[in-house]
Structure 1
Amino acid sequence: MGSYLLGVALFALGIAVTIALHELGHLMAARAFGMRVRRYFVGFGPTVFSWRKGHTEYGLKAVPLGGFCDIAGMTNQDEVTAEEAPHAMRNKPWWQRVIVLLGGIIMNVLITLVLLYGVAVGNGLPNPNVDLRAHVGELSCVPATQIDANTLSECQGTGPAQEAGLAVGDTILAVEGQDTPDFPSVAEAVRAYPGQTITLDIERDGQQLQIPVEVAAVERLTTTGETKTVGAIGVSSAPIKDVIVQYGPAEAVPATLRFSGEWLKATGQGLAAFPAKIPGVAASIFGAERDKESPMSVVGASRVGGELAQRDSWATFFMLLANLNLFLALFNLVPLPPLDGGHIAVVLYEVIRDKIRKLRGLAPAGPADYTKLMPLTITVAGLLLTIGVVVIIADVVNPVRIFG
């Protein structure tokens, strides 16, 4: 229990540090271009403590679920004093404003790279070239029934696969013409043919063969405890080799960049699927099964961090924190206010609008009127708040359980 609570605390601290560094990215970029930073806070709500240095107030607020970096003149509606005007963000070139808005996102990406590099050197990263094909590791008889979730009935003799001539070391390429890139896909395909004869396409010693196998009809339990008749042939997968590759300090650099690129693509796909998963999260509050791939809040992620610490899975712990940073980077790029991407979209709109005005012989129109965006901003903020509350409740009453 002690290691679990330590993991929860450390992951929550990691999230807090992530938030602080995200806002620090904005602050550093703003300072680099001579912008006035009024406040730099981690958290929302009542102020726990704060201090002032120069023109900036630094502090911590009571609810550590976010943070902010208050830059003078970030929008046209932000009142600035005469002394602040030369340092106001809205009076700076558009490209400087975009870099400042990207500062937090860039910081999240850098955190991701640093964490993954540390894992690559200290433990190793998943091998992108690992052979996941369905290599036969063991042939056995087929138990006729399943007693409980972890127990099958006893059996003797040989199973259908061995009787058909399948051998240890063979690679199953397809079942009934359906490609099977890994062993789970083989098992899933075979289950659909109880009591039937199927053809396995296999590779043996560089030769491709076809082997007919009579599938046994067996009874297995579903996730809800019901009995179902499925197919089985008595084949177990060989251990997958070289799943993790550890790198030296130099070779870890390209390995980290390569792995980050793969993660970037997967995270983008996950972000696109994010809205469709929210109804399932809401349903899980009322007893529906929680998808292991469903979104998690700070509460849920910290809980998973505790489970990983409890099992000494520190590499996965830091990879989860790295993945969270990459997700936050992409999420903040969504071109909707009040996200960073929404502010960037407004700046780019101003640039395009003024270029068109120049072609028409008109003067630049100045900063955009953010009051026209308030209905959209309030709607998006309210939607994000609602989703956040739903996910937090789900993480409390029906959390994601990565270890069953």
Structure 2
Amino acid sequence: MTHVVVVGAGQAGAACVAKLRNLGFEGLITLIGAEPVLPYQRPPLSKKYLLGEMSLERLFLRPKAFYKEQNIDLLLNTDVGAIDSVAKTISVDENKFSYDHLVLATGATPNRLPASIGGELEGVFVVRGLADVDAMAPEFAPGRNVLIVGGGYIGLEAAAVAASKGLKVTLVEASERILQRVAAPETSDFFRELHKQHGVKIVEGVGLSMLSGKARVQMAELTNGQTLEVDFVIAGVGVQPEVSLAEKAGIDLDNGIKTDGYGSTSAQSIWAAGDCASFPYKGAQIRLESVPNAIDQAEVVAENIMGSQKPYNAKPWFWSDQYDVKLQIAGLNVGYDTIVSRESSARVKSFWYYKEDKLLAVDAANAPRDYMVGKRLIEGGKSPRPELVSDVSIDIKDLLHA
């Protein structure tokens, strides 16, 4: 009987095994997760879950009964030691599992602050898994001082939660502006002003020099010489694809575990999906850190395990929740040279990324109609004239036919 083993019980791994059963796969399925809890959603961790607005049970992607009903062998709190791609086995503790198909959905690992600058002091946290958020949750008491290192979406979301809970928040970003790596200056300006209105102090162009304290962090020194008293620190300085298992097995890497257009790696019968996997996209090998990509890519892998030979056609989209603002992003803005703004009000805006005359991406803040229209335009390869986009007297839906 055919045996599919999936390593990584996050969004991609859970989507893959569910899709296999949905497609009628009748063989053995083993889903292996390093964490001790059922597969769960990560995005709410730094938002509703940390705010106390979502219970642990609501985080779970599916109830425990689902895995039993679907005859999926779920191994939690389990690490895979090695892959033998020739023998088609994996090592788990002292045991070996044979597989016919192996799916690597190992996700990503957060970058941590170096120990040399105090990154290992008590009270220094990252935001990635359930254990990380559970560990930091008791720190969120009104009036306490929190330093957030990194002005990407994770850092800004953590700042929003802290400010909403009444903490005194300072966020430092070493680049010239927040969101510099992922968004236009217009989007940065929007969120800088939003956080300023909620009392967050944002310091740009300044990095962290040193954290100090006897055992627990107490002080932070910035690269401009400024010192801050801190009760705790959150590092939101990006992630790295988790490739160690694949690397030891000799599987090709390129910005993550390298896959072809079908999700297959350089090793026979081994596939990869989700945050750990890169794939060909418009002439480049890219990796998308998003829930939609994890699900879609994993489901395509499941279909191809079943023999469909279906190429993965990525449709990038993302979101971020901060205070009462929902940012929705469609497309990829790489290489843009022009930004067109559409402003319905101070809190309802969208920013449209163009390269020459081609629409690449849209950032829509509290503007779901702009997002949906932008997404349809991008996926359809259509690019409305910029002057039509910026004219709010024109109904946004009319752009679909412009």
TM-score, with structure 1 as normaliser: 0.24
The structure with more helix, counted as a fraction of residues:
1
The structure with more strand, counted as a fraction of residues:
2
TM-score, with structure 2 as normaliser: 0.24
